[in-house]
Amino acid sequence: MENRKTKNEKNQKEEIELKEEAAVSTGENTPLDNEETKSKEKRTASLEKENECLRKELDEQKEKYLRLFAEYDNYRKRTNKETSEAYSRATAEAVTSFLPLLDNLERAQQYAPDDEGMRALIKQLQDILVSLKVTVIDSDNKCFDPNFHNAIMHEEDESTEECRIVQTFQKGYMLGDKVIRHAMVKVVN
């Protein structure tokens, strides 16, 4: 009996193989081919979904990178601007603290015009201010401008043009474009 079973099984296998060979030669799909095709299609669909997910994730990462880069660039610009402003403020404060010294030296020179030591000190301090890009606000006989001048006295004079500065009591100074001390002046109205 066992021989019969084995013969039957062999015959069945041979029949299946013959049918598959015949199907392959005629171009028909066998059940195994159909399963393989379905499996490949499923796998392809799965890979396409995974590819699409990865593309979305890549796009999100690119967007995060661009935002982070823009944020860093803004931070760098802001930091540079703040550093520059801090330097300008510190320089202006330091120069402002030395201006009364220069004023006093210039007043003292009016009482001792022949003192070479006084003249040398004033020249040295003025050279330092020039090296720091500090300039004197020109005010004598100029038109009054509240952005540069502080009027502490007014005078009526018909012969002089209106809003004209006739006397400077204290020089004004600028650091670059910024006024660090307004000139104190007398104005004709």
pLDDT tens digits, 16-71: 666 656 555 555 555 556 778 888 888 898 999 999 999 999 999 999 999 999 99
Give the whole-angstrom CA distance, residue 83 versus residue 176.
16
pLDDT of residue 34: 76
Instruction: Residue 188: give its domain's CATH number.
Output: 2.30.22.10
Structural domains in the chain (count): 1
pLDDT in the model for residue 140: 86
Which has the closest alpha carbon to 107: 19, 169, 177, 27?
A: 169
Q: What pLDDT does 155 receive?
A: 86
Over the chain, what is the mean pLDDT? 86
Residue 112 lies in a domain: no
Instruction: Say if CB 149 and CB 165 are below 8 A apart.
Output: yes
Task: Show the domain range for 182.
Answer: 135-189
Q: Which of 102, 93, 187, 94 is nearest to 136 (CA)?
A: 102
Q: Which residues pair with 181 in a beta bridge?
A: 173
Share of residues in the chain with pLDDT > 70 (%): 83
In angstroms, the CA 4 to CA 12 distance is: 12
Highest mean pLDDT among 71-85, 106-120, 157-171: 71-85
pLDDT bucket at 160, cuts 50 / 70 / 90: confident
Is the confidence at residue 13, as pLDDT, over 90? no
Q: Is residue 145 part of a domain?
A: yes
Stretch 112-128: mean pLDDT, rounded? 92
In a domain, 14, yes or no: no
Q: Does residue 175 lie in a domain region? A: yes
Give residue 101's identity as a one-letter amino acid code: L
153 assigned to some structural domain: yes
Which CA distances in Å does 132 have to 17, 101, 127, 136, 187? 99, 17, 9, 12, 30
What pLDDT, on a 0 to 100 scale, did the predictor assign at position 3? 56
- Structure confidence at residue 134 (pLDDT): 94
Residue 88 forms part of a structural domain: no
Average pLDDT over residues 154-159: 83
More confident residue, 174 or 26: 174
How crowded is residue 47: how many other Cβ atoms within 10 Å of its Cβ?
A: 10
Cβ neighbours for 112, distance < 8 A, ≥ 6 positions apart: 118
User: Does some domain include residue 89?
Assistant: no
Asked if residue 180 is part of any domain, the answer here is yes
Secondary-structure breakdown of the chain: helix, strand, coil percentages, each rounded to the nearest 5: 65, 15, 20
pLDDT, greater one: 17 or 153: 153
What pTM, to 2 d.p., does this model score?
0.60
The pLDDT of residue 40 = 86
